[in-house]
Amino acid sequence: MKVLLAVDGSQSSNQALLEAFKTINSSRDILDIITVDNFRTSPPQDVDAGERILLEYVDRCKDQGFILDNNLSAQVLHGDVRNEIIRYIKECGPFDRIMVGSRGLGTFKKLVLGSVSEYLVHHSPIPVYVVKSDGSCKVSDPAL
């Protein structure tokens, strides 16, 4: 099984990683981890934020038996979060699923920014596992 995990360092992303550990096995499965730096919304002084986020997740995966550049890959993407995730799915797949956290944006932010997980549910060509910060998970079928 090949699983894509999109993270942003939030509590729900941490829960998505824990859920991934429950459903995949480091001896037989492949895990790709991505984070997306959106320079339009990220402060310019924090250009290394994506790298720091990935290093934390990679270390946690290594503790579970994953080996970087073997059954684990990690990459920082740059651009619009939604578009970059969909592009990665199409260019680097095939993946069996994508796992993402549900950040639970406030009403105003959701109206302005929208929800990345909600976008993926409606546009991803593969099943989307949306994991909330309490660990509950919602699975959606691929968009046609």
> d(Cα 4, Cα 86) in Å, to the nearest integer?
11
> d(Cα 73, Cα 66) in Å, to the nearest integer?
9
SS (H, E, C) 74-90: EEEEECCHHHHHHHHHH
Among 3.30.300.30, 3.40.50.620, 3.20.80.10, 3.30.70.1170, name the CATH number for the domain at 2-140.
3.40.50.620
| pLDDT tens digits, one per residue of 18-73 | 999 999 999 999 999 999 987 655 555 566 888 999 999 999 999 999 999 999 99
* H or E, element range at 111: helix 107-113
Coil, strand or helix at 109: helix
The domain ranges of the chain are 2-140
